[in-house]
Amino acid sequence: MSTAARFQRPRHRSDDRFQWSITASAAMWPDAAAFTAVAAEDDRQIKALLVNAHPDDESESAAVVYRIAHECGGIVDQVVVTNGEGGHQYAALAEAYYRLPLTTAADRRELLGQIRREEVMRASRILGIRNSYFLGQLDTGMTLNAADAFDAWDIRRIQQELRSLLQFGKYDLVLLLLPTAHTHGHHQTVAALTLEAVAELEPEDRPAALGVRTVAFAAEEPRGFSELDGYPVTRTTSPEPVWVFDRRTPLSCHPSLDYGIVVNWVIAEHKSQGFFQMELGRRTHEHFWLFEASGEAGAARWRELVQAMEQQSHSRHSVQNVA
């Protein structure tokens, strides 16, 4: 039996009942019922969908996702297009932790792909993500060219999955990594495909589709972003972000603790990505751009979501002052 076969985990086997996706429910966790019960009490609960190219991409919007799922009583699902098996370059440190050859073995890609799915599931539990859909596309490794993924992936089937989720999920919010020319080409491809699916929805059914980019507090403000050249569907409503969330904002549970802790927990779960671990505490602000594909209905949903979060924050601050 191969090393890869010995590492198989039953809960990640392919499930043909949802085409080729793998769904992992938050109900698998012993304490998930408590969060589900709270969310079910609110008929106006927020429904959000993350669409990411790789495991660990969820960390970019981790603070806001945690806030939606845990503090606003919302529902969050995610799509992970690849298993991240191309990220073996900095996996050497994790070999001792997992006791597996992740950088040199012939089957290292298969091993790493399984490990990274395990890692993102643990990170998802922290964030309160309900369902995770793994599409199993090839991670071709680092590239700045969106065309690489268009050549390597089954684009038609990805489009079918995204259309189905968006049509039946009735999401209020879709979060993507901002597809700048300097980010990973897979992020660019995923953004373009998802925004195409959003644009195909009836105008009144469109969610607020946003691109997120994190920056460090000491760094300069991020450059304006209007669209990715060659992909007009990625056009934003403004070159500047429509909203910024400071991860140093205090958590509702205690005024001395902030959202940066949650982000660090998420990053720490991705132990196979050694260089990524150096991001602990570095990026303090999540910047969000609204895509034009959202239309008027999506823009209205975004305004309502921000208002709800601001009201929740104001209410929390008032309680703390009284206490």
What are the structural domain ranges in the chain? 3-322
| 3-class SS letters over the chain | CCHHHHCCCHHHCCCHHHCCCCEEEHHHCCCHHHHHHHHHCCCCCCEEEEEECCCCHHHHHHHHHHHHHHHCCCEEEEEEEECCCCCCCCCHHHHHHHCCCCCCCCCHHHHHHHHHHHHHHHHHHHHCCCEEEEEEECCCCCCCCHHHHHHHCCHHHHHHHHHHHHHHHCCCEEEEECCCCCCCHHHHHHHHHHHHHHHHCCHHHCCEEEEEEEECCCCCCCCCCCCECCEHHHCECCCCCCEEEECCCEECCEEEEEHHHHHHHHHHHCCCCCHHHHHCCCCCEEEEEEEHHHHHHHHHHHHHHHHHHHHHHHHHHHHHHHC
pLDDT tens digits, 192-226 = 999 999 999 999 999 999 999 999 977 767 789 99
pLDDT tens string, the chain, 323 residues long: the values are 444 443 333 333 333 333 344 444 443 444 433 334 344 444 568 999 999 999 999 999 999 999 999 999 999 999 999 999 999 989 999 999 999 999 988 889 999 999 999 999 999 999 999 999 999 999 999 999 999 999 999 999 999 999 999 999 999 999 999 999 999 999 999 999 999 999 999 999 999 999 999 999 777 677 899 999 999 999 999 999 999 999 999 998 999 999 999 999 999 999 999 999 999 999 999 999 999 999 999 999 999 999 988 877 666 555 444 44
Instruction: Tell me what pLDDT residue 311 has.
Output: 79
Is 2.60.40.60 the CATH classification of the domain at 3-322? no
pLDDT tens digits, 48-92 = 999 999 999 999 999 999 999 999 999 999 999 999 999 998 999
